[in-house]
Amino acid sequence: MAEDAIHAEGEIRTIIQAYPPEKRFILAVMQDIQKTYNYLPRQALLSIADYTGEPFSRVYSIATFYKAFSLIPKGRYNIKVCDGTACHIKNSSVLIDQIYSSLAIRPGETTPDGMFSLETVNCLGACAIAPVMMVNETVHPKVSSSGILEIIKGYREGADDAE
């Protein structure tokens, strides 16, 4: 763990320094870090505060205000179940129950083996193919309550369908 952290510090610096040291770029920096690590390590927040000269408390408040950021690591497969209105009335909440019955995680949680994490999102803007679910960057359209188990099984068996 500690080694990882030291290794990451240089990388984090590189991401941060791609932007000018101004307050208004904090959001963009955080997004890049979130994309790289799937969460915002504490070290990254300290480095951002240091680089921009903003108090740590303000950096922290931005990190916790926006939904896009997580302060704890996400799983290898991050499942986002859309709970926008169109998906909701097409029973997306059943999908969440199905995931719980299969993986025993609720939104915001990660499986102990670090394989899957689950979150709900407000709307992926793909309402015409509701209910939708995203696993990492792959969109799964019209997911049925039995189909979801197949999808999870596919990922669990290591069938990484990243392009």
Partner 1 sequence: MMQNKHNDGRQVLVCCGTGCLASGSKQVFEAFKSQLESVEGVEALVSTKATGCNGWCEQGPLVKILPDDITYCLVKPGDVSTIIQKTILEHEIVEKLLYRDPLSKKRIKSHHELNFYRKQKKVALRNIGEIDPASISDYMEREGYQALNKAFSMLPRDIINEVIKSGLRGRGGGGFPTGLKWMNCFEQEASRRYIICNGDEGDPGAFMDRSIMEGDPHTIIEGMLICALAVGASAGYIYVRDEYSLAVENLARAIQDARDRSLLGRNIMGRDFAFDIEIVRGGGAFVCGEETALIASIEGNVGEPRDKYYFPSEKGLWGCPTVINNVETWANIPVIIGQGAEQFASVGTENSKGTKVFSLVGKVVNTGLVEVPMGTTLREVIFEIGGGILRGRKFKAVQTGGPSGGCIPAELLDLELDFDSLAAAGSMMGSGGLIVMDERTCMVEVARYYLNFLAGESCGKCVPCREGIRHMLEILSRICEGKGRSGDLELLENLAETVQEVSLCGLGKTAPNPVLSTLRYFREEYLAHIEDHLCPAGICRDLTRFSIDPIKCTGCGLCKKSCPADCIIGESKAVHSIDSTKCIKCGSCVDSCRFDAVVINQEVGK
Which are the contacts of 161, defined by CB distance < 8 A and separation ≥ 6?
138, 154
26-37 vs 42-52: helix axis angle to the nearest 10? 160
Q: Does 137 bind partner 1 (CB under 8 A)?
A: yes
Among 39, 43, 149, 156, binds partner 1 (CB under 8 A): 149
Binding part of the chain for partner 1, among 5-13, 39-47, 85-93, 110-118 by CB under 8 A, reads 85-93
Tokens of 134: 């995203």
Among 38, 43, 91, 136, binds partner 1 (CB under 8 A): 91
CA distances to 11, 13, 25, 30, 137 from 130, in Å: 38, 40, 34, 30, 17
Among 74, 84, 96, 105, binds partner 1 (CB under 8 A): 84
Binding part of the chain for partner 1, among 4-12, 36-44, 57-65, 109-117 by CB under 8 A, reads 57-65
Q: Per-residue contact track with partner 1, 97 to 136, x per CB under 8 A?
A: xx----------------------xxxxxxxxxx-x----
Residue numbers of the site for partner 1 (CB under 8 A)?
22-28, 30-31, 61-62, 65-69, 83-86, 88-91, 94, 97-98, 121-130, 132, 137, 139-141, 144-146, 149, 163
